[in-house]
Amino acid sequence: MQSTMQDAPLLISGIIRHGEYVYSEKKVFTVTPDGVEEATFFQVAKRAEQLAAALTKLGVQSGDRVGSFMWNNQAHMEAYIAVPCMGAVLHTLNIRLFPEQLAFIINHAGDSVIIVDASLAPVFAKVRDQIPSVKHIILHGKDESGLLGETIDYETFLTSEPAGFEWPILDERSAAIMCYTSGTTGNPKGVVYSHRSTWLHSMASTTTNSIGLSERDRCLLIVPMFHVNAWGAAYTAFFAGTELIMPQMYLQGEAIVKMIKELRPTISLGVPTIWNDVLRVTQNAPDADLSSLRGIVAGGAAVPRVMIEAFRDRFGIDVIQGWGMTETSPLAAVSIPPSGTPDDLAIDYRVKAGRVVAGVEVRITDEDGTVLARDGKTVGEFEIRGPWVTASYYGVDDPERFHDGWLRTGDIGSMDAEGFMTISDRSKDVIKSGGEWISSVDLEGTIMAHPAIFEAAVIAVPDERWDERPLCCVVLRPDASASAEELREFLSSRVAKWWLPERWAFIESVPKTSVGKFDKKVLRAKYAEDDLPYETLD
């Protein structure tokens, strides 16, 4: 029997129409060198219609790829709306990729037009002559350098057309936006989100069992719009009426603390590295005012317990941990303690990667693909499926990553009967010592609780007796000191004895990936090249 429901396609234009009318006066704020610029959702949507009309006139057609090489700002939001809603595909380019990788992804996606923030022109200039498919560069802002040759001025281009562009009715399964993985090994791989997947992901992000964005929120969007669509929050904003604060290039702890004080966001999204910096800045700043925040969403990497405790104890702010990947749009699990959890136990939930959100399914499997128990103890690889989880990569076969209709995440850990996931490692970061696994994530999280430690990253290094052992790379806080013996002593009451690292390296900072996560690949390479001095305890 057929249902009698209307068959309305789930399109991004539907999300935008809703935001534009129901939340027309909500605002997008952009922090600029000359102060804060603001525009209402209505104005942003109308400007997006102008942009779509201008792009159409330029020759952009349905399915064409339009790149963005931009900070988080209002113009980027306009591109987020215009390009997919007109039927083309927005390719968000990671501004921190090496030139070879950047050229690779532009060529692989076959971008024909790219919108570039003027302040990034010198960076983009490095690939300009390596990207033959790009016919036009649209420059947003003033650039006197002339490094990019012939360009189109964004503002003149946009304002040359009237608003009123009619968004076409599209197939909800057609491509809307694409993002390449930040690929720590090999070439980045493209993930293509559809209108339907984006729509459903936006809806999931408004549920109170997940991050619960609503029209009562103003969101400071620190996570870049080139990193998995700013974790989906840009579209969710129009879906839910959530105001957006776009920080552009002002991503240091000092600037963020100032922004929070002045623009009063209720929620903010970013990787743990950013939050660590905010804690550093506020350590000796009694006038730091984070009181507007109802919570911060931290994800993309394990969130150390000490960080969650610090935000709770110093500011009364809940850290909401989320887990996901470029391949999962990304929101897949969010860690909110179950109702009735006593306050003193809440943190034990907040340190977990997250609880599976409705719409996706997660399981763990062993090396043979056998599904394992969800008992909170058995460890295996997470596999995930659902309508906003990718089923393949763009233009490349990678059968290893897919299993029986499920995506193999490469994340190792356990899951309990209530759907809470605990990540112990990326499969490539696992330390196999004497046939047993040591969790680098646990070691890092524990050592970071030492008051002298600012950051810590643990890598596996070869060991004659045990095959592999952990090498603990630590960054001391300014003016703090601690010896390797002292740090190992600190760990000794907190982790199993055979986990205790013998090898300790004191480094200036942990290398970061293009999206701000710990880059252990760089540490491994340094170790392999004998360029990572360390001391060995007995």
Give least dist CB 210 to ligand AMP, A. 13
Whichever of 203 and 301 has its CB closer to ligand AMP, that residue is: 301
Catalytic residue among 437, 466, 512, 521: 437
- Residues in contact with ligand AMP, counted by CB under 6 A, come to a total of 19
Contact, 292 vs 267, CB < 8 A? no
Residue 154: how many CB atoms within 10 A of its CB? 21
Candidates 92, 181, 206, 282; catalytic one = 181
Q: Which residues, in sequence order, are bridge partners of residue 323?
A: 333
Options 143, 383, 411, 519; binder of ligand AMP; rule CB under 6 A: 411
List the alpha helices (DSSP H) in 353-503. Answer: 440-447, 484-492
Q: Residue for token digits 């034990």?
A: 348
Q: At its nearest, how many Å lie between ligand AMP and the CB of residue 94?
A: 10
User: Pick from 72, 92, 181, 248: which binds ligand AMP (CB under 6 A)?
Assistant: 181
Q: Which residues contact 70 (CB under 8 A, 6 or more apart)?
A: 76, 79, 95, 115, 116, 117, 120, 140, 225, 226
Give the contact letters, 145-174, x = binds to ligand AMP (CB under 6 A), - = no. Answer: ------------------------------
Considering the candidates 327, 381, 383, 455, report the single residue annotated as catalytic.
327
Least Cα distance to 293 among 316, 324, 327 occurs for: 316
| 182 contacts ligand AMP (rule: CB under 6 A) | yes
Residue 388 falls in the annotated catalytic set: no
Does 271 participate in binding ligand AMP (rule CB under 6 A)? no
Closest CA to 300 of 279, 332, 270: 270
**Selected range binding ligand AMP among 152-160, 277-285, 320-328, 524-532, rule: CB under 6 A:** 320-328
At its nearest, how many Å lie between ligand AMP and the CB of residue 189?
A: 10
Q: Please tell me the distance from the alpha carbon of residue 354 to that of residue 331, in angstroms, as a whole number.
A: 10
CA 426 → CA 163, 285, 439, 440, 503, distances in Å?
Answer: 47, 36, 9, 9, 21
Minimum distance from residue 324 beta carbon to ligand AMP (Å) = 6
Q: Quick check: 514 binds ligand AMP (CB under 6 A)?
A: no
Closer residue to ligand AMP, CB minimum distance, 247 or 445: 445
Interface with ligand AMP by CB under 6 A: which range of 119-127, 359-367, 407-415, 457-465?
407-415
Q: Which stretch binds ligand AMP (CB under 6 A): 4-12, 91-99, 241-249, 297-305?
A: 297-305
**In whole angstroms, what is the distance from residue 470 CA to residue 343 CA?**
34
**Annotated catalytic, 26?**
no
DSSP type of residue 459: E
Q: Decide whether 48 or 320 has the Cβ nearer to ligand AMP.
A: 320
Residue closest to ligand AMP (Cβ): 326
Question: 32 by DSSP, 3-state: which?
Answer: strand
- Quick check: 229 binds ligand AMP (CB under 6 A)? no
- Contact pick of 438, 515, 523, 532 for ligand AMP (by CB under 6 A): 515
472 vs 515, which CB is nearer to ligand AMP?
515
Show the CA angle centred on residue 232, arms to residues 52 and 218, nearest 5°. Answer: 95
437 is an active site residue: yes
Alpha carbon 369 to chain centroid, angstroms = 28
Position 409 contacts ligand AMP (CB under 6 A): yes
Residue 277 and residue 271 in contact, taking contact as beta carbons nearer than 8 Å: no
CA distance 110 to 90: 12
Question: What pairs with residue 365 in β-bridges?
Answer: 371, 381
Active site residue 181: yes
Nearer to ligand AMP, 45 or 515 (CB): 515
Sheet with 190-194, edge to edge strand ranges = 152-153, 136-140, 113-117, 65-69, 89-92, 175-180, 190-194
Position 276 contacts ligand AMP (CB under 6 A): no
Q: Does 433 bind ligand AMP (CB under 6 A)?
A: no
Q: 104-113 burial by CB neighbour count: b if 16+ within 10 A, else e?
A: bbbebbebbb
| Residues at the site binding ligand AMP, with contacts judged by CB under 6 A | 181-182, 228, 299-302, 321, 323, 325-326, 330, 353, 409-411, 423, 426, 515
Return the active site residues: 181, 327, 432, 437
